[in-house]
Amino acid sequence: MGTTMKKRMTGLIAFGLIASTILAGCSSSKEGDTGTGTDGKKEEQITLSFETSLYAEAPHKKAIDSLISKYNEKNPNVKITVHGADYENFWDKLTTEVIAGTQGDIVQVYPENIATYNALVDGGAFLNLDTYLKGKELETKLVGQELSKVDDSYYAVSNYAWGTTGIFYRKSLFEKANIDPATVKTLDDFKAAAAKLGVDTNGDGKLDQYGFASVVGSHPFVASEWYRLIARPVSGGIYFPDGEAGPYTADRINVNSDANVWAAKWWQDFINDPKITPPGTRDKKVGREMFWNGQAAMNMDGPWFIGMTQERDQALMDDLGLLPQPAITYEGKEYKPNPHNNPSVAMISKKSKNADEAWKFLEWMTTPEAQQIIGGSGMIPSNKDYVATEEYKNNNPLAVQFFEFQENLYAPAVMDPPIPEQGTLSQIMVNTAQEMFIGKKDAKTSMDDAAGKMKDAIK
């Protein structure tokens, strides 16, 4: 772990976060007898805690509650409690818990988070899962499982769902503006459509509909929307070149490359167009609400947004369309989008007193029975066999389009670097994006500053 990262993690504790974040029942426990096993004997009550950032969102809460309820029917002696926070606050909270040793028995993260959080404790905070996965069927049948490694060992299982990003649009607003969605193929097409969609709908001289609900605020999406959509496809990597490949050394920091600086300037011009992006600071939640309310015609999101829209208002589903991320022309060459695959993966804490029971639950989540429940979250379930069924395809036509985009239109996905310092690098990028896209600071100056900070972080 880099010196900068250690200082940041220590600082979190010093700010008094521990008291507010320690989980109630954070490690598994046994609570006497309950239920009856197949042999007629009473079984010990086992409690497991499950920690996730997804639980704050209604469709995920519904899916996770249903999973736990179904599992408890089959295993009445196992009680699973859920703890979480919204995405923006979850990660600092988890940092404090891991350092204090109070994290949940099961912790759900993304592949790029595994190395960072495992390295917060000497010797690692989470269990090596090779005995459960290596050489077993699950190693190859789960989307994104290969991304869950640290030093060639598995520390998480990709047992929930995954997604990549596309551009959702309101069909009615496109039709009113006389825009054929099939013609929006390139970055220039996307910008032209977004500008055309920004209009004064009530004739009071003020814009009340905008083209694109971009994030311009404190949420990490202030950086990731920009680099997933534009920068990373043309530069090969925000943090390191060649698809965020190693060696992960200071001399290979790529953030201030010419392509990334060009992409930052393009995004500054794009979001500063009053027809495209509404003025003022806003986060992802506000942008989604603007889309649902018809105040924004487009929103960048993943398949989870399908479930969120359905939960918000079933009637909106008939007006929900999906575009792939656009192709980009830079210095005369066309680049395909390469949005990263975003599976939710689960780790087991070394502090867990019932790791085998935690694994049994995580393994059950990969079954068709559980994957069908997970499909209700709007995300694409991780089990490749289940998603390949005609039943799934027929019931989830919008989600299936994400498969088609990846197969026909997208370059191979580029993931964040799987290194312990990634949390620090990501925060530097978020801070830099805020400078450029909210503070309107010169892109080259900001990116050069970011490069220096990133080099210090990984020395």
Q: What is the pLDDT of residue 19?
A: 36
How far is the C-alpha of 314 from the C-alpha of 344, rounded, in Å?
Answer: 25
For the chain (459 residues), the mean pLDDT of every run of 10, in chain order, is 41 38 42 48 83 89 94 96 82 93 96 92 96 96 91 96 92 97 97 94 85 83 92 97 95 98 97 86 85 95 87 93 97 95 93 96 97 86 92 88 89 88 92 93 98 95
On whether the CB atoms of residues 339 and 165 are closer than 8 A, the answer is yes
On whether the CB atoms of residues 102 and 70 are closer than 8 A, the answer is no
Residues of the chain with CATH 3.40.190.10: 3-158+345-378, 166-341+417-457
On whether the CB atoms of residues 33 and 43 are closer than 8 A, the answer is yes
On whether the CB atoms of residues 320 and 309 are closer than 8 A, the answer is yes
Q: What is the CATH number of domain 166-341+417-457?
A: 3.40.190.10
149 contact partners, CB below 8 Å, separation of at least 6:
155, 418
Sign for the pseudo-dihedral over CA of 210, 212, 218, 219: positive
Q: How far apart are the first and last CA of the chain?
A: 9
Q: What is the pLDDT of residue 450?
A: 98
3-state secondary structure of 137: coil
3-state secondary structure of 435: helix
On whether the CB atoms of residues 160 and 382 are closer than 8 A, the answer is yes
How far is the C-alpha of 282 from the C-alpha of 222, rounded, in Å?
Answer: 10
Place of tokens 């979001």: 271
Place of tokens 């607003």: 173
Q: For the chain, how many residues are written?
A: 459
On whether the CB atoms of residues 71 and 159 are closer than 8 A, the answer is no
On whether the CB atoms of residues 109 and 347 are closer than 8 A, the answer is yes
Q: What is the pLDDT of residue 212?
A: 95
On whether the CB atoms of residues 168 and 291 are closer than 8 A, the answer is yes
Q: What is the CATH number of domain 3-158+345-378?
A: 3.40.190.10
This prediction's pTM:
0.76
Q: What is the pLDDT of residue 281?
A: 66
354 contact partners, CB below 8 Å, separation of at least 6:
28, 30, 46, 48, 105
Q: What is the pLDDT of residue 26?
A: 43
